[in-house]
Amino acid sequence: MPSAPADDPAVKAAHFTPAESGEFVPTPFAQSHWGDDHLNGPAVVGLAARSLELECGSPDFMPTRLTVDLFRAARGVSTAVTVRVVRDGRRIRSAECELAQEGRLVARATLLQYRRSVAPPGRLWVAPMTLPPLPSVDETALTQVGSEGRALSRSPGEHQNDSRKSFYNRAIEIVAGEELSPFTRAVMAAEATSLVANLGTHGVGYINGDLTVGLARLPVGEWIGVQGDSHWASDGVAVGTATLFDQDGAFGSGMTTAVSNPAAQIDFANDPFPLRIG
């Protein structure tokens, strides 16, 4: 099934539209920089997070850890989602979700939830951290990229250097007509862990095969920030981590593993992506 047309008013601010079959049809907003027929990471992980929360979420439980394994590139075709509960305990809940296209599995996600309670007594070590300021609330852009010594901008191409990176997100809807939950917003923003960890002087040459998001609380406010913490690489394999923060400070972490993909290296300074969705 082809992507919905760009001039369809129902897809102006969403990654997917629902189909009568129960599947989800990607819009042009779900398109990835990796290729004309690839879906972007936030769209894929966001659809998984949204589905797990709708079917397995509870106000009494905190969605604490989501891991999404990205088995193959998701394409611009109708996407089926299935969810099942693995364990429904008094203090711990676990569920998993599969995304399939044309009968082939493209991603599997697992969600771990803990029952909310009071913290134990005592003080714990907290890593010293300086977080950059969030964009202004009247900023019209939905995403911003920053790096040390450079002003925020919409283009990652202006931050192709070897300094610490940050990314800021105000996510659009996953499914047209559905308001995003704080959990889904956090997961979609956390997908930028790969960008802030793997963006270097020549763009991005590592493609992530997974995303793990750990949340101590849900985000508040319009903007979610993602600041790179580490990047370790050897023999074409990389691991990156990042801190998630909002107007009240840090609230979670992201981690991705990635494999070298120089044949499809993304040079944002010369990327035709805006033309592909215009």
Q: What pLDDT, in 10s, does the model give residues 20-52?
A: 999 999 999 998 887 778 999 999 999 999 999
- DSSP-derived secondary structure letter, 163: S
Q: Which domain holds residue 86?
A: 9-115+134-266
Domain-located, residue 4: no
Domain-located, residue 82: yes
Domain-located, residue 278: no
User: What per-residue confidence (pLDDT) applies to 136?
Assistant: 85
User: What per-residue confidence (pLDDT) applies to 270?
Assistant: 81
Q: What pLDDT, in 10s, does the model give residues 80-91?
A: 999 999 999 999
Domain-located, residue 277: no
* DSSP, residue by residue, 210-266: EEEEEESS---SS-EEEEEEEEEEETTEEEEEEEEEETTEEEEEEEEEEEE-GGG-B
Mean confidence (pLDDT) of the chain: 91
User: Would the pLDDT of 278 be above 60?
Assistant: no
User: Would the pLDDT of 212 be above 90?
Assistant: yes
Q: What pLDDT, in 10s, does the model give residues 113-128?
A: 999 999 999 999 988 8
Domain-located, residue 126: no
Domain-located, residue 53: yes
Domain-located, residue 1: no
Q: State the CATH number of the domain containing residue 158.
A: 2.40.160.210
Q: How far apart are CA 200 and CA 198, in angstroms?
A: 6
- 98-124: burial string, b at 16+ Cβ within 10 Å, e else: bbbbeeeebbbbbbbbeeeeeeeeeee
User: Would the pLDDT of 200 be above 70?
Assistant: yes
Please tell me the total count of domains within the chain: 1
Domain-located, residue 213: yes
Position with higher pLDDT, 263 vs 1: 263
User: What per-residue confidence (pLDDT) applies to 273?
Assistant: 54
Q: How far apart are CA 272 and CA 111, in angstroms?
A: 35
143 CA to centre of own chain: 12
Report the chain's C-alpha Rg in angstroms: 18
